[in-house]
Amino acid sequence: MNWNIEEEGYDKKNIEFFGSKFCIGNGYYGYRGSLEEYTKEQLTACTLSEIYDDKGNGWRELVNVQNPLYTVIKYKNTPLTVLESQIKSHKQSLNIKNGVHTRCTEFITSDNKIITVESQKIASIDNKNLLVMKYCITANEDMDIEITTKIDEDIWDINGPHFSKSEKYYNQDILTVKSITIEKGNAVAVSTRIKCSDDRCSVATCEDNLSRKILVKVQKGIPFYFDKFAVICKDTDCRNVCNDSIRICQDAYEQGFDNLIKNNNEKWAKRWDKFDVNIEGDDLAALSIRYSIYLLLISAPFHTDKVAIPARGLSGQVYKGAMFWDTEIYMLQLFAYSYPDVAKNLVMYRINNLQGALKKAKEYGYDGAFYPWESQETGEEGCTHYNLVDIFTGRKMRTYFRDKQIHISADVVYGIKTYMDITGDKDILLEGGAEVILECARFFYSYSYYKKSKNRYELLDVTCADEYHERVNNNAYTNYMVKITLECAVYTLTYLEKNYPDEYLHIIDKLNYEDDIRHIREMNDLLYLPIPNEDGIIEQFDGYFKQEDLSIDELYKRIIKPNEYLGSPVGLAVNTQVIKQADVILMLTILRDRFSREIKHDNWEYYEPRTEHGSSLSACVYALLAAEIGKVDWAYKYFMKTGTIDLQGAYKLYLGDLYIGGTHPAANGGTWQVAVLGFGGLHLKGDSVELTPRLPEKWNSLSYKFTVKNNTFSVNIDKRQIIIEADKNNKNVIDFQVYEKQFSCEANEIKKINYEFKGE
Amino acid sequence: MNWNIEEEGYDKKNIEFFGSKFCIGNGYYGYRGSLEEYTKEQLTACTLSEIYDDKGNGWRELVNVQNPLYTVIKYKNTPLTVLESQIKSHKQSLNIKNGVHTRCTEFITSDNKIITVESQKIASIDNKNLLVMKYCITANEDMDIEITTKIDEDIWDINGPHFSKSEKYYNQDILTVKSITIEKGNAVAVSTRIKCSDDRCSVATCEDNLSRKILVKVQKGIPFYFDKFAVICKDTDCRNVCNDSIRICQDAYEQGFDNLIKNNNEKWAKRWDKFDVNIEGDDLAALSIRYSIYLLLISAPFHTDKVAIPARGLSGQVYKGAMFWDTEIYMLQLFAYSYPDVAKNLVMYRINNLQGALKKAKEYGYDGAFYPWESQETGEEGCTHYNLVDIFTGRKMRTYFRDKQIHISADVVYGIKTYMDITGDKDILLEGGAEVILECARFFYSYSYYKKSKNRYELLDVTCADEYHERVNNNAYTNYMVKITLECAVYTLTYLEKNYPDEYLHIIDKLNYEDDIRHIREMNDLLYLPIPNEDGIIEQFDGYFKQEDLSIDELYKRIIKPNEYLGSPVGLAVNTQVIKQADVILMLTILRDRFSREIKHDNWEYYEPRTEHGSSLSACVYALLAAEIGKVDWAYKYFMKTGTIDLQGAYKLYLGDLYIGGTHPAANGGTWQVAVLGFGGLHLKGDSVELTPRLPEKWNSLSYKFTVKNNTFSVNIDKRQIIIEADKNNKNVIDFQVYEKQFSCEANEIKKINYEFKGE
């Protein structure tokens, strides 16, 4: 079984991509897969979650701290770095089983000696403040080497700098820098201490109080190493970031590298026990799904419900570190089925930030909660009005991502519903969930218009996933998702009134919701839901079918300048049926029980050739629906596209001069969804579990675990048999439907079901 | 008194402009002010009203016929033309009192002789088919001259050719060409016959059967001339265009030039008696107002109710010869106050074309009547989806003039109301007017959305006069004009039910209007009408105040390419408060009795500096409201801008390669409105006439006539006194309010009222 990502040789053109590919992290911070001698020029970053800053120009982004692991060696006064020195060999690898990033480089000196540098790094998931490195030097002759290791204050920022001031402390051999952010005055501290392998060296602290110089008499063939214990503390969870970081650093120093690694490995093993998905017979697919899960595990907020997962994880500051609907639609199910605590954090993040959504609605003159398109730690809208530059005029273009993506509020409600459905935890309603649901429903009522002549509510002037077509009326995805919101609101009212009458009255009173009950019930009855036309196709929005219908290739032929933006207001796709990404198809994957296989099939066939996949959120959706309707070859093709995105880096790194690379959590979550929900065929229908697996030709077997309402099952699927194994601690009997067969499964039971999948 | 437009000297750069400036016409056709030797290269055109053609590419436009007056002389085998020959003097003039266009050119021959060519042309208003020319040659020595005069088949078309075939006939010395249009097979014929002044010449008909060659032995100082009697017949009013044109031509020939001129002059005198407006003390203003009226008189459909007045009159095919809301908003009052028969034709044109409006509404999925933005003879929408070209990419841009200018239906209803209010002719309701009003109201109900949370109807996604901002919500002009429509509909129902119960029942039944009565009454009660904000300003549309507020100069500084389109979708004005033309201000001039002087004043002050006047429909509106609120200096400035537009040609002739020049009937009508309604202060309030004159400093006096409900009054206003003289044939006593004074006025009465105007 392959858990290792490796790259041999060195090529500067991969610097940016590998920074993301070899990223480590623990949800508290992300540390890019940079080499120790890299500086900000190579996009080195230690990106903090939760801490955002606006240096004063309206662009808020996650804060990067000083790189505590910067290290470079000198031989005869010449630095040895992959950027400038002669190299005999170079290898970089990441073990995704335990999150260890290693590098090994053999440098050739000017006098033809060989110096080997090896390092290992972990972002501890056992102690979220810890970042630990072992740095090891071996030479093929005796020699003097000078090592400089420091906390690099020269921070890479997209829109920085973000610190108004930094102070340095030297204490018990621990170097500390404490910094204060500009906008909100958040305090963060970085401490480091080193421990050398033996006494062949002398260590001196430099005047800058951040660097140490180690002079080593290396002996031929005998490795010299030092361990660096770095600690990052933020005032989101530390009372005194300085004291805490020094204390934790000292503690780590005392535990030592091997113990820290051991503890970290144990934690990773436990985590994989919950999350692992295994595929036999297809190594790349197996690695892709595991790597996708790894990337989510290093970004997810295991420790807090104050943030969700940013659009580029913690691989940098791209997209402002903002959290989009990606979390609810693409990532939440993985956590809800595998680790409900994190799912709850993700849901609570939205609940905690209801104020931001209320504020945004008010800003636009609406009632209720209008959740932001780009959400940050405050829950306020982080998106600006002008988000693109016209390539022909150099002018900023007004976009309506901020103003018109009302579906986010519905996605948030859908997230709460998903969490409740899978975990069975309806208490979330009493923890603020009910208020979110009711305020979102209220928002939609206030946003909607009633068409008297048609006796229906409509949702006008909206933007959805297909951002090539902004400001459309009655977008199918939006309307159906709003329907879910209204149903949830009606359900919530009924549920609370029946089960928690006091809380019900309290909430109605607190929200002043008396009139709204009538409103949302009426809107729930009368909301316009676009139905399939005579060919079975659901129109993406009013008038979509009237747009020019041409192939994507024909559209591309009209391009007159590379990197033209194809979308609104005047891009080439705007007046055509070419769409950016899954929209109706996404709706069909979410509302799978409302539409027949035939409708799904017809819509997939219609929209697939018209979809440009100009977003990493698209391919997995086409894969998921293709798997569901039995188009397994197509599903596999799109699955591999999604699953390998961060392994193979087939994405755009720059938009103009702006770096937009990094990892793609939505695609990572999508990869899991296709594997487990698509090929694995897992689907929750009411209280029973449906399993309708459809394995790709190449796969011998697929196995995964899932937890439904606190009951955990292991599933192993091969081409002929499905084995379901109920965990011994399960409390409930769960009903299953596996193809035509229905049965119940209690703790410790093992069920083996033969099946035959016939394809499309 | 100056009735003459004159230009001396010759400059090729004026060719296009003078073609419009010296235009003659009679509503049946327009004949550009070209010189006889001009061909299509100089944009010579004889443009027919009523006949439109689409050669097959979707661009329908008015049809130009063969130029029947082409004439060129040769001396010693060399043509003498202003384009190529040496000229001693050249003068072109137009007498707007009787519509006579003259030219006089002294050519210098290669051997230094002087040949003088003089011509006179009239488009007869006594016989609409007639176009007559006298062409006269005088030389300063005896010589042989060859004259070629022909029907020039080489037609200037913007989107032609428009004839599928042409046949030529030679009959009784009359040359005739009959042509058939491509799209609808309309037949048109052009006949000519010439009569020479004496027998110094020989006349031969050329083989093409359209040209005649006249060889003249000119004697020193003795003019030789020929008269050319040209006839244009269309199958819209002629059974057999060939026979008719030959017959009329023969008849004209027999009457002779002098009689035709005499009859024409008499008719013009009668017309001016109805229409004249005189200004003493300001020659340019006097000429401007008269020239404006002249331009409308030569374009207006005196003879038919099948068409209205195209956007460029009959000065060519520009804007497809389409008829816009310009007629109802800018021209109708002039005719209703001066010559109700033409006003009725204009109104009946819309009534006759209800089917086109019903069809357009249906095409967009609405009920009722959605009148076209660009209307032609069928009343169907002539506007296309792509009307502009992006100057940066060369791509066609999607515009929403066609789709979203719903205000046209309201303007049509306002036109009927205007006609009824001024003429008192409510029978128009029974002649189809009621159906138009009711179908337009029904359209608005079907277009509108009801906002439940605000208990109001709204009009969303509309475009109004300010086309820089397309697709906006609740445009103030649109909403208020729709309010007028609904009020008219309610009034119509009440009026008919009370006075014509049978017809009422018939109409309700025919239109299946039973439910609609309730709908439009409710919408009339609950339509959202934007009210002034705390600063007294009415927001042009929802969110307008939130747009960037910068000066027009600042906006201009952002221009990076000449002739950039400033409007939607991505022009520089789109996200700013800079507007193309009067919009809220137009609404305030129309709904003058609903708003206080203070509100008008505040809005004028707010919107004026933000208005770019990118349309010839703008300046007159600012003038009109400025006059009404006593800002006479500003009113005068804008009045002169509007009034001189076609005199001085301060407008754009080309958009890219596309000729868009011609006369500006809306501005011409606007000039009249500012003079009579603005400075003259004429306003109908219910059944009584308000006169609140405010003369510009420079003017000694202003006089005009008006007819209200068949009662005609002459008004003479000087700086201190207003003299009102009732026509002896008046049947009714009319109530007047002149500033604070109220009185009645019966037939033959003369009232003299002293007043003092104090200015703003």
Tell me the pLDDT tens digit for each residue of A194-251. Answer: 999 998 899 998 888 899 999 999 999 999 999 999 999 999 999 999 999 999 999 9
Question: Does the pLDDT at position B760 exceed 80?
Answer: no
Distance from the Cα of A569 to chain B's closest Cα (Å) equals 6
Q: For residue A442, what pLDDT is reported?
A: 98
- Quote the percentage of chain A above a pLDDT of 70: 99
Cα A591 off chain centre by: 23
Query: Residue B391's domain spans which residues?
Result: 325-530
Query: Which residue among B453, B461, B471 sits closest to A445, beta carbon to beta carbon?
Result: B453
| B560 and chain A in contact, CB less than 8 A | yes
Residue A404 in domain: yes
Under the banding of pLDDT at 50, 70 and 90, the label for residue A758 is low
- Same domain? For B254 and B373 the reply is no
Query: Which residue among B397, B460, B519 sits closest to A460, beta carbon to beta carbon?
Result: B460
Residues of chain A contacting residue B453, judged by C-beta atoms under 8 Å apart: 367, 445-446, 519
Q: For residue B309, what pLDDT is reported?
A: 97
| B390 and chain A in contact, CB less than 8 A | yes
Cβ–Cβ below 8 Å for A449 and B445 = no
Distance from the Cα of B530 to chain A's closest Cα (Å) equals 15
Cβ–Cβ below 8 Å for B393 and A390 = no
Distance from the Cα of B507 to chain A's closest Cα (Å) equals 21
- Same domain? For B14 and B145 the reply is yes
Cβ–Cβ below 8 Å for A453 and B575 = no
The chain A residue lying nearest B461, using CA atoms, is A461
Q: What pLDDT, in 10s, does the model give residues B53-65?
A: 999 988 899 999 9
Angle between helices A619-628 and A665-672 (to 10 degrees): 10
- Same domain? For B126 and B263 the reply is yes
Distance from the Cα of B488 to chain A's closest Cα (Å) equals 21
Strands B734-738, B688-691: pairing kind: parallel
Query: Which residue among A395, A453, A570 sits closest to B390, beta carbon to beta carbon?
Result: A570
- Same domain? For B143 and B54 the reply is yes
Distance from the Cα of A226 to chain B's closest Cα (Å) equals 59
- Same domain? For B190 and B329 the reply is no
Q: For residue B1, what pLDDT is reported?
A: 59
| B392 and chain A in contact, CB less than 8 A | yes
Residues of chain A contacting residue B398, judged by C-beta atoms under 8 Å apart: 574-575
Q: For residue A85, what pLDDT is reported?
A: 97
- As a dihedral over the C-alpha atoms of residue A523, residue A528, residue A529, residue A533, rounded to 10 degrees, the angle is 160
Q: For residue A2, what pLDDT is reported?
A: 83
Question: Does the pLDDT at position B595 exceed 90?
Answer: yes
Q: And the tokens for A644?
A: 């390998």
Identify whether the C-beta of residue B195 lies closer than 8 Å to the C-beta of residue B226: yes
Please say which residue of B233, B258, B275 terminates a domain.
B275
Identify the weakest region by mean pLDDT among B39-43, B92-96, B656-660.
Answer: B656-660
Distance from the Cα of A588 to chain B's closest Cα (Å) equals 27
Strands of the sheet with B174-181, listed across from one edge: B4-8, B86-95, B100-108, B114-123, B130-139, B224-234, B187-196, B174-181, B163-171
The chain A residue lying nearest B448, using CA atoms, is A451
Under the banding of pLDDT at 50, 70 and 90, the label for residue A760 is low
Query: Which residue among A446, A451, A575 sits closest to B453, beta carbon to beta carbon?
Result: A446
Residue B337 in domain: yes
- The pLDDT of B207-221, averaged and rounded, is 93
Query: Which residue among B461, B519, B570 sits closest to A390, beta carbon to beta carbon?
Result: B570
Residues of chain A contacting residue B449, judged by C-beta atoms under 8 Å apart: 449-451, 458, 460
- How many other β-carbons are positioned within 10 Å of the β-carbon of residue B654? 11
Q: For residue B656, what pLDDT is reported?
A: 74
- Tell which A residues from 439 to 458 touch B, by Cβ distance under 8 Å: 445-446, 448-453, 458
Under the banding of pLDDT at 50, 70 and 90, the label for residue B758 is low
Q: Is A168 annotated as a binding residue?
A: no
CATH of the domain at B199: 2.70.98.40
Distance from the Cα of A558 to chain B's closest Cα (Å) equals 10
ipTM for the whole complex: 0.91
Residue A133 in domain: yes
Q: Is B581 annotated as a binding residue?
A: yes
- The pLDDT of B405-429, averaged and rounded, is 98
Please say which residue of B208, B240, B275 terminates a domain.
B275
- Quote the percentage of chain A above a pLDDT of 90: 94
Q: Please indicate whether residue A467 is annotated as part of the active site.
A: yes
What span, in angstroms and rounded, lies between the C-alpha atoms of A94 and A80? 23
The chain B residue lying nearest A568, using CA atoms, is B569
Under the banding of pLDDT at 50, 70 and 90, the label for residue A563 is confident
Under the banding of pLDDT at 50, 70 and 90, the label for residue B113 is very high
- Same domain? For A373 and A471 the reply is yes
Q: What pLDDT, in 10s, does the model give residues B316-353?
A: 999 999 999 999 999 999 999 999 999 999 999 999 99
| B57 and chain A in contact, CB less than 8 A | no
Residues of chain B contacting residue A392, judged by C-beta atoms under 8 Å apart: 392-393
Expressed in angstroms, the distance from the first to the final Cα of chain B is 31
Under the banding of pLDDT at 50, 70 and 90, the label for residue A759 is low
Q: What pLDDT, in 10s, does the model give residues A367-393?
A: 999 999 999 999 999 999 998 899 899
What span, in angstroms and rounded, lies between the C-alpha atoms of B162 and B183? 8
Residues of chain B contacting residue A452, judged by C-beta atoms under 8 Å apart: 445, 448, 450, 519
Calculate ∠ Cα A101-A103-A107, nearest 5°.
Answer: 170
- Same domain? For A29 and A162 the reply is yes
Cβ–Cβ below 8 Å for B570 and A570 = yes
Q: For residue B759, what pLDDT is reported?
A: 60
Q: What pLDDT, in 10s, does the model give residues B676-702?
A: 999 999 999 999 999 999 999 999 999
Question: Does the pLDDT at position B179 exceed 80?
Answer: yes
Residue A74 in domain: yes
- Same domain? For A165 and A269 the reply is yes
Q: What pLDDT, in 10s, does the model give residues A30-79?
A: 999 999 999 999 999 999 999 999 999 889 999 999 999 999 999 999 99
What span, in angstroms and rounded, lies between the C-alpha atoms of B720 and B718? 6
Active site (catalytic) residues of B: 467
Count of domains in chain A? 3
Residue A316 in domain: no
What span, in angstroms and rounded, lies between the C-alpha atoms of A576 and A553? 13
Residue A591 in domain: no
Identify whether the C-beta of residue A448 lies closer than 8 Å to the C-beta of residue A563: no
What span, in angstroms and rounded, lies between the C-alpha atoms of B346 and B422? 14
Cβ–Cβ below 8 Å for B392 and A392 = yes
- Same domain? For B263 and B405 the reply is no
| B539 and chain A in contact, CB less than 8 A | no
- The pLDDT of B548-565, averaged and rounded, is 94
- The pLDDT of A426-443, averaged and rounded, is 98
Q: Is B86 annotated as a binding residue?
A: no
Q: For residue A206, what pLDDT is reported?
A: 84
Question: Does the pLDDT at position A163 exceed 70?
Answer: yes
Q: What pLDDT, in 10s, does the model give residues A497-523?
A: 999 999 999 999 999 999 999 999 999
Cα B601 to Cα B480, B481, B629, B679, distances in angstroms: 19, 20, 6, 16
Query: Which residue among B393, B445, B452 sits closest to A453, beta carbon to beta carbon?
Result: B445
Q: Catalytic one among A377, A439, A467, A628?
A: A467
- Same domain? For B260 and B330 the reply is no
CATH of the domain at B713: 2.60.420.10
Query: Which residue among A398, A452, A570 sits closest to B450, beta carbon to beta carbon?
Result: A452
Question: Does the pLDDT at position B264 exceed 70?
Answer: yes
CATH of the domain at B390: 1.50.10.10
Please say which residue of A275, A306, A341 terminates a domain.
A275
Q: For residue A637, what pLDDT is reported?
A: 98
Residue A598 in domain: no
Q: Is B325 annotated as a binding residue?
A: yes
Identify whether the C-beta of residue B415 lies closer than 8 Å to the C-beta of residue B347: yes
Cβ–Cβ below 8 Å for A446 and B460 = no
- Same domain? For A238 and A333 the reply is no
| A471 and chain B in contact, CB less than 8 A | yes
| A390 and chain B in contact, CB less than 8 A | yes
The chain B residue lying nearest A564, using CA atoms, is B393
Q: For residue A656, what pLDDT is reported?
A: 75
Strands A734-738, A741-745: pairing kind: antiparallel
Query: Which residue among B392, B450, B570 sits closest to A450, beta carbon to beta carbon?
Result: B450
Cβ–Cβ below 8 Å for A453 and B446 = yes
Q: How would you label B663-679 residue by residue, b for 16+ Cβ within 10 Å and e otherwise?
A: bbbbbbbbbbbbbbbbb
Interface test with B, best of A558, A570, A572, A574 (most B CBs within 10 A): A570
- Quote the percentage of chain B above a pLDDT of 90: 94
- Closest-CA residue to A647 (of A668, A627, A632): A668
Q: What pLDDT, in 10s, does the model give residues A78-119?
A: 999 999 999 999 999 999 999 999 999 999 999 999 999 999
Residue B240 in domain: yes
Question: Does the pLDDT at position A541 exceed 70?
Answer: yes
Which stretch of DSSP H or E encloses residue A258?
Answer: helix A257-275
Phi-psi category of residue B203: left, alpha or beta, with phi > 0 → left and psi -120 to 50 → alpha: beta
The chain A residue lying nearest B576, using CA atoms, is A398
Q: What pLDDT, in 10s, does the model give residues B713-751?
A: 999 999 999 999 999 999 999 999 999 899 999 999 999
Question: Does the pLDDT at position A579 exceed 60?
Answer: yes
Interface test with A, best of B563, B570, B572 (most A CBs within 10 A): B570
Residues of chain A contacting residue B390, judged by C-beta atoms under 8 Å apart: 570
Cβ–Cβ below 8 Å for A452 and B458 = no
Q: For residue A259, what pLDDT is reported?
A: 98
- How many other β-carbons are positioned within 10 Å of the β-carbon of residue B166? 19
- Same domain? For B335 and B237 the reply is no
